[in-house]
């Protein structure tokens, strides 16, 4: 069927026909006018009545020749056949923006998926937008306080920056993200946007319910491209969430916390699209355009004179291999890298952040101040010395160390336990009431542990507390200390 054109109130509808279907990749022929790159095309299936889907939405990615375009489907392609009529919308993929989107959950097309009805009074904007020009960007570096001790002391985040949460499966990336949403809305009075790329529907439903119960939904928007959706949909959902974030930053002049879970799934979706389009794979099977695609998303996250989009991104690390191209490319965009350790998770030290592998560009005297910087260096140094001594303790036992080294081990073990924290979002599982700790209290606690003020307290008194003074309420120094040290020595010998 050749493309025809219809006149409806002086607007020409551009029609074409399907000439090939290969999974999610569809080739379409247009006789009159070739659609632009990123144009959205639709195929109406309502007349067939054979499938649950009324409309298949596809996006133009490549112009093959003067009459043919190659497209990727953003919806399932069941029911499509060669020769079917395709309509060119003449527009790119659009996302809804406005105050009405707050407290709602959307898919990649801006349709509500939370059973709360349709959304009115919104403006629709293209998801393909340029990053803000350099002259509009703020050159001021300020710290974003999270209320989580280990992050604020050792890995301070940048307001308007990008932080990565690196870790394998099951070490607590999503839990840490949900805690930051809770703290952002409660403390900063900003807007949180949660973008689920390739998420399980169970996680989306749980997050929505938890946020509703926590009372933070009125200042939050959720956008999901779920795991079972076609790669084209997962590939575009990040841009849709960013378009919403840019509205709150540029039009409403509010600070935005953008949480992306998981940026690896964005790269993975791009890899699937690239393979389906027939491009030659690059290293380890990734798409050759991975760097460009990731930069196109990341560069839009910026701090301007109007407001800041601060982004925290969970990064799944395949097989815990930090040399994987996906992890390496993501590292280059970040101002802070928070590395989650499976070993610390197994020891019950939550959040399971590895203080020695994690780093932040903000942790410099010019930004955090000399006092904070020196204290953070002392904490890192103490923990690094303990890591070096672990082999000796495992082979010979704690009693073989010099008195000075024993003091270092005591400080380090107490620091490790003080840097754990009970989360609001895990109260129902742990039984510990969630704590939000100010930066001053976090620094004060670390300083007092380094000054040996708590050397006579059992280590357990410092575990899962907020401020350091809670240790005194929890337990006073007693003969238990001797008993505890004996248990610790025997356990070290056994390990």
Strands 123-126 and 94-97, sheet pairing: antiparallel
**Gap between the Cα atoms of 440 and 136, Å rounded:** 33
Q: Which of 104, 125, 149, 173 is catalytic?
A: 173
Contact 153, 351 (CB under 8 A): no
Q: Residue 217 and residue 209: Cα distance in Å, rounded?
A: 9
Round to whole Å and give the CA distance between 83 and 16.
9
Q: Does residue 173 carry a catalytic annotation?
A: yes
Quote the CA–CA distance of 110 and 123 in Å, as a whole number: 11
Place of tokens 């701090």: 303
Distance CA 410, CA 425 (A): 30
* Secondary structure letter of residue 409 according to DSSP: H
Do the Cβ atoms of 445 and 414 come closer than 8 Å? no
Contacts 24+ apart (CB under 8 A), 62-65: 62/37, 62/277, 63/34, 63/37, 64/27
Instruction: Please name the helix (run of DSSP H) or strand (run of DSSP E) that holds residue 67, with its range, or none.
Output: none
| Rounded Cα–Cα distance for residues 44 and 18 (Å) | 12
Contact 40/59 with Cβ under 8 angstroms?
Answer: yes
Q: Which structure tokens are listed for 245?
A: 């974030």
- What is the DSSP secondary-structure string of 129-163? -PPPPGGGB-----EE--S-HHHHHHSPEETT-EE
Catalytic residue among 91, 99, 187, 200: 200
H or E element: which one contains 339? strand 336-339
Closest CA to 357 of 173, 179, 180, 166: 166
Q: 182: number of CA atoms within 13 Å, CB side?
A: 23
CA–centroid distance for 262 within its chain: 5
Strand ranges of the sheet holding 256-261, from the earlier edge strand across to the other edge = 105-106, 220-226, 191-199, 256-261, 309-316, 162-167, 336-339, 359-360
Q: Is 98 left (phi over 0), alpha (psi -120 to 50) or beta?
A: left
**Which residue in the list 199, 229, 246, 293 is annotated as catalytic?**
199
> Is the CA virtual torsion 355, 357, 360, 361 positive or negative?
positive
If DSSP codes are grouped into helix, strand and coil, which group holds residue 483?
helix
- 455 noted as active-site residue: no
200 catalytic? Reply is: yes
The residues annotated as belonging to the active site are 173, 199-200
């Amino acid at each position: 069927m050749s493309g025809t054109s219809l006149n409806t109130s002086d607007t020409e509808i551009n029609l074409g026909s399907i000439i090939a279907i290969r999974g999610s990749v569809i080739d379409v022929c247009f006789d009159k006018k070739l659609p632009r790159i990123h144009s959205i095309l639709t195929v109406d299936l309502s007349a067939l009545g054979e499938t649950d889907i009324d409309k298949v939405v596809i996006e133009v990615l490549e112009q093959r020749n003067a009459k043919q375009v190659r497209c990727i489907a953003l919806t399932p392609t069941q029911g499509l056949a060669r020769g079917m009529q395709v309509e060119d919308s003449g527009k790119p993929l659009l996302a809804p923006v406005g105050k009405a989107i707050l407290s709602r959950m959307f898919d990649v097309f801006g349709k509500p998926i939370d059973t709360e009805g349709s959304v009115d009074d919104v403006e629709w904007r293209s998801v393909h937008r340029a990053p803000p020009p350099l002259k509009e960007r703020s050159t001021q570096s300020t710290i974003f306080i999270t209320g989580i001790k280990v992050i604020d002391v050792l890995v301070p985040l940048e307001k308007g920056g990008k932080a990565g949460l690196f870790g394998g499966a099951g070490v607590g990336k999503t839990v840490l993200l949900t805690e930051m949403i809770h703290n952002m809305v409660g403390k900063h009075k900003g807007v949180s946007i949660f973008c689920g790329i390739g998420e399980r529907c169970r996680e989306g439903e749980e997050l929505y319910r938890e946020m509703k119960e926590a009372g933070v939904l009125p200042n939050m928007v959720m956008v999901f491209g779920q795991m079972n959706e076609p790669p084209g949909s997962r590939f575009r959902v990040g841009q849709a969430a960013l378009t919403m974030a840019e509205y709150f930053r540029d039009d409403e002049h509010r600070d935005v916390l953008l949480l992306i879970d998981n940026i690896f799934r964005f790269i993975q979706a791009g890899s699937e699209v690239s393979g389906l389009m027939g491009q030659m794979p690059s290293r380890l099977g990734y798409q050759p355009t991975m760097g460009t695609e990731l930069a196109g998303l990341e560069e839009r996250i910026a701090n301007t004179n109007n407001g800041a989009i601060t982004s925290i991104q969970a990064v799944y690390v395949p097989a815990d291999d930090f040399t994987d191209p996906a992890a390496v490319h993501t590292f280059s965009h970040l101002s802070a890298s928070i590395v989650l350790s499976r070993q610390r998770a197994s020891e019950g030290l939550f959040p399971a952040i590895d203080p020695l592998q994690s780093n932040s560009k903000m942790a410099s005297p010019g930004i955090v101040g000399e006092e904070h910087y020196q204290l953070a260096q002392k904490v890192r140094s103490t923990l690094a010395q303990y890591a070096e001594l672990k082999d000796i303790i495992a082979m010979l036992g704690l009693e073989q160390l010099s008195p000075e080294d024993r003091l270092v081990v005591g400080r380090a073990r107490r620091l490790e336990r003080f840097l754990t924290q009970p989360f609001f979002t895990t109260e129902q599982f742990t039984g510990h009431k969630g704590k939000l700790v100010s930066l001053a209290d976090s620094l004060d606690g670390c300083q007092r542990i380094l000054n040996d003020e708590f050397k006579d307290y059992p280590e357990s008194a410092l575990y899962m507390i907020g401020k350091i003074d809670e240790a005194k309420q929890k337990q006073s120094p007693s003969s238990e200390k001797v008993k505890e040290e004996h248990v610790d020595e025997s356990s070290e010998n056994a390990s």
